[in-house]
Amino acid sequence: MSRKKISTTIYVTPEQSERLRVLHERTKVPVAVYIREGIDLVLRQYGHMLPGQLSLADPNPAPAPSAPRPERPEST
C-alpha cells in the first residue's frame, strides 16, 4: 500500500532531466520514484543532523556520559 504523498516542485539541470528520462524509458520506473529514493538517501546520510531520538537499533549509539572522577589528594 502506498503512503500519501504531497506535491512539490523541484528544479533539475537539463542533464539530470535527460538522464532521468532515459532511466525511466529503460526501467519503466517513474522519475518521481527515483527522486524520492534520492531524497531518502540524503536524509539517511544526514540523519545525524536531524532532531529526534535515537532508535533502539542504532548501530552507533552515542557514548553514555561518564560519572565525574573523585578528586585525588595531592601528594607532597
Task: Output phi, psi for 50, to 5 deg.
Answer: -90, 145
Q: Which three cell numbers stand for residue 65?
A: 556520559
Entry pTM: 0.62
The pLDDT tens digits of the residues spanning 37-46 come to 999 999 999 9
Q: Is the Cβ–Cβ distance between 20 and 12 less than 8 Å? A: yes
The pLDDT tens digits of the residues spanning 45-66 come to 999 998 886 666 656 666 666 6
Q: Would you list the domain boundaries of the chain?
A: 14-46
